[in-house]
Amino acid sequence: MTGFAIRPASQGIYPAVCHVGDIYVPLTAEGVERLRAVAHASPTAFYSVLLEVAGVSAYLKERIAQRWAGIDPAEQTRTLQQDVIGLPAV
């Protein structure tokens, strides 16, 4: 995977996983709810929350920023927003 995706976690204590290229970042229930709260926001607002929720370390923040810079933010945001909306309730 070259971009991003948010998918339900198959098992464990986290309800969802954010795929950042070949890296998997577990998302807490609180993180999922924060992303849902901006599911209809602008790409900039959504990216800001995504960076806070999935960027739990300087390394991950850097990887997210690198990946985000190489894509169409509006299209990627629409895809991720649909991923978040489609997640099961937590």
Q: Would residue 44 count as lying in a domain?
A: yes
Phi, psi angles (nearest 5°) of residue 19: -90, 125
Q: Which domain holds residue 67?
A: 4-85
Number of domains observed in the structure of the chain: 1
Q: Would residue 32 count as lying in a domain?
A: yes
Please tell me whether the overall predicted TM-score, pTM, comes out greater than 0.95 for this model. no
Give me the pLDDT at residue 69, please. 87
Instruction: Report pLDDT digits (tens) over 13-38.
Output: 999 999 998 899 999 999 999 999 99
Q: Would residue 26 count as lying in a domain?
A: yes
Closest CA to 53 of 71, 72, 34, 38: 34
Q: State which amino acid sits at residue 50.
A: L
Q: Would residue 90 count as lying in a domain?
A: no
Q: Would residue 57 count as lying in a domain?
A: yes
